[in-house]
Amino acid sequence: MVQDSVSKWERSLKDEFDALQAQNRNMSPDAAATFARLLQDLRDQGAGKGLNIGDKAPDFTLEDATGKPVTLSEELAKGPVIIVFYRGEWCPYCNLQLKAYERIMNEIKAAGAQLIAISPQTPDHSLSTKEKHELSFFVLSDANNKTAENYNLKYKLPDFMQAIQKRSGIELHQYNGNPTFELPVTATYIIDKKGTVIAGASDLNHRTRMEPSEALKKIRSLQ
């Protein structure tokens, strides 16, 4: 019964991503060329290498949406953790992903695990994300992308994308509380109680992400 529920959710998530991508294409016919240019620039930067299976997940202490510190090693003492690096509340793909995880949080908790979502947003914007989407999991603020850097995920938006974001009304310096235009490559890691990465996916293409159903399957394999 759970499997049927997850499968139904997975299809609907894919439909949402496809619909959003089609909508963006219609709004901006040259979006595909711009996106291809961005991906090539990030490859040239060597961005998004991330962690490998078998790596030890770097420990961190980050503030949650209320300013309370959350430490990875302390949470791992309670059980395995799914870590999701996302760009921010301004990213519609990220919002779809977070809401999809919320839909299966009961299953994740039943498997003895929990979820930690990390972005470079300030705590105020993390709180906005958490409240807007009624999220029951940790939403943490990674000031200046220090944790993303430790996970080999930090990159800087090229100048042409900075200009596009400004024209679109996305003021990253306000969301992130700094003028660096740095972001994390979107990534998901499954960490066991020993702090070892047992599964993971990072992709320069923010439309390509590990399916939450796959993350749930990995968590269940640890039981």
pLDDT in tens, 130-186: 999 999 999 999 999 999 999 999 999 999 999 888 888 999 999 999 999 999 999
Range of the domain at 121: 2-220
Q: What's the pLDDT score for residue 12? A: 61
| 12 three-class SS | helix
Q: What's the pLDDT score for residue 142? A: 98
d(CA 87, CA 157): 12
- Report the run of H or E that residue 86 belongs to, with start and end: none
| 177 three-class SS | coil
**Contact status, residue 47 vs residue 185, Cβ threshold 8 Å:** yes
In the structure encoding, which two tokens stand for residue 63, read together? 């503030």
Buried residues in 174-193 as b, exposed as e (16+ CB within 10 A): ebbbeeebbbbbbbbbbbbe
Whichever domain contains 72, its CATH number is 3.40.30.10
Q: Give how far Cα 158 sits from Cα of 31, 122, 146, Å.
A: 16, 22, 19
Q: What's the pLDDT score for residue 184? A: 97
Q: Give how far Cα 49 sits from Cα of 9, 22, 148, 151, Å.
A: 29, 28, 11, 8
Name the residue with tokens 């029951």. Answer: 136
Rg of the chain taking only CA atoms, in angstroms: 17
Q: Give how far Cα 207 sits from Cα of 1, 15, 64, 76, Å.
A: 29, 12, 25, 28
| 97 three-class SS | helix
Number of separate domains in the chain: 1
Which stretches of the chain drop beneath a pLDDT of 50?
1-9
